[in-house]
Amino acid sequence: MIRHLVANALTLMIVGLIGLAIVISVGQRSFYAEGPLEEAICFRVAQGASLRAVSAGLAEQGAVTSPQIFRIGAQYTERADRLRFGSYLIPERSSMDEIMDVLTRGGASTCGSEIQYRIGVTRIDTLVRELDPGTQRFETVVQFAADEDPPEDYARFTEDPDITYRITVAEGATSWQIWEGLRLAEFLSGELDEDEIPREGWLAPDSYSVARGADRAALLAEMETRQERILTELWEGRDPELPYATMDEALIMASIVEKETGVADERRQVASVFVNRLRVPMRLQTDPTVIYGITQGRGTLGRGLRRSELDTTTPWNTYRIDGLPPTPIANPGRAAIAAALDPDDTPYLYFVADGTGGHTFSTNLADHNRAVARWREIEAEQRQSD
């Protein structure tokens, strides 16, 4: 009798173990198998959210087939207590394991909304962008200039604790424009004194991810550090025959190149013209330096130069002074610095706009005058068509 009971107990135990093994095997396959999502989604993990709440939310949005298996898998892989709050992109067909990896990896949120504050050469504006999970591209949903009142729906984005902020500084913006832009950014903190505007040219135009309440002065310091790093790196690989005695002179040249052309493929050609002029020597005779002497980088001129302004001597009027001006005239980007330190080898001494956004380059004054005459014709045609 006892032997019979023991045999039955062993049989039941074996069946139970087999059943448990089957359950574990099925659970493992489900945890690592392709998920049910047909389209990518943004999923938000609230601060302090429990694994149970997260698994229920994922099941509700159709990202997992079983919240129980999701929780067991998270515990089995020792990630149950590593959830990071934020909004995250869950790609289509993600397995539970892949979803758990996204939610515990850390770092910045990968989905949701972003406030982008753009400091440009002619304007400052704010954009609110939302990531479309399907295309994985940001779409602009709100946009307004710094001198405009924010639209009513802007407030709902600033109240979102998960929203990210990004400050983008355009190549060619002056230090005063950047300083003023940061001063006007309501989501930053800290006072900026006007007598502490950074040196012209020494702020790196770039994209900066910041947190709400970030310190303005600290951000300016980061921009300076980044620009110094870029210039030092490129200076070390420069052509030793270039007519620059210091990194400051190279930065001055880069700022002129930055303001003279917006065409990436032309930067090294433009740099070659000014380098050739320094070597001749000839005066640089570049309008952007004259404009800087008038505005001191505090905004744009908003009109053409007058003859009297071209004839007035200032430290930056390269029609009246020899060599480089005393300071940069804007903050050049990495590409302009690279062009100044590695210009093309050309015979060009002149260039003028060609009406397409680019320039016509010439080796002698006669050809240059013909190119200028053609540009005047194009300007006249454009005025007539407006």
Residue 256: its H or E element: helix 247-260
Q: For 44-62, what is each residue's pLDDT tens digit?
A: 887 788 999 999 999 998 9
> What is the overall mean pLDDT for the chain?
89
Determine what percent of the chain is predicted with pLDDT higher than 90.
60
Q: Name residues whose C-beta falls within 8 Å of residue 231's C-beta, 6 or more positions apart in sequence.
A: 247, 250, 251, 337
Contact 172, 121 (CB under 8 A): yes
Q: What is the pTM of this model?
A: 0.77
pLDDT, position 8: 56
- Stretch 311-324: mean pLDDT: 96
Q: For 138-153, what is each residue's pLDDT tens digit?
A: 788 889 998 899 998 8
Quickly state the pLDDT bin for 274 (edges 50, 70, 90).
very high
Contact 31, 97 (CB under 8 A): yes
pLDDT, position 27: 55
Instruction: Count the helix, strand and coil residues of the chain and give each as a percent rounded to the nearest 5.
Output: 45, 15, 40
Measured CA angle at 194 (ends 192, 200), to 5 deg: 100
Is the CATH code 3.30.1490.20 the one for domain 30-109?
Answer: no
| Two structure tokens written together for 269 | 């050609």
Quickly state the pLDDT bin for 383 (edges 50, 70, 90).
confident
Closest CA to 89 of 132, 25, 30, 146: 132
Measured CA angle at 324 (ends 353, 283), to 5 deg: 60
Q: For 79-114, what is each residue's pLDDT tens digit?
A: 888 888 777 888 889 999 998 988 887 655 667 788
Tokens 């210039």 found at: 231
What is the sign of the dihedral through the CA atoms of 302, 216, 209 and 203? positive
Q: Are strands 350-353 and 359-362 parallel, antiparallel or unpaired?
A: antiparallel
| Two structure tokens written together for 105 | 């990896």
Q: What secondary structure letter does DSSP report for 39? A: S
Closest CA to 66 of 89, 33, 115: 33
Beta-bridged to residue 132, according to DSSP, are: 137
DSSP, collapsed to helix, strand or coil, labels residue 57 as: helix
Stretch(es) of the chain classified as CATH 3.30.1490.480: 30-109
What is the sign of the dihedral through the CA atoms of 333, 335, 339 and 341? positive
Q: Are strands 86-90 and 41-45 parallel, antiparallel or unpaired?
A: antiparallel
Determine what percent of the chain is predicted with pLDDT higher than 70.
91
| Separation between Cα atoms, residue 131 and residue 143, nearest integer Å | 15
pLDDT beyond 70 at 12: no
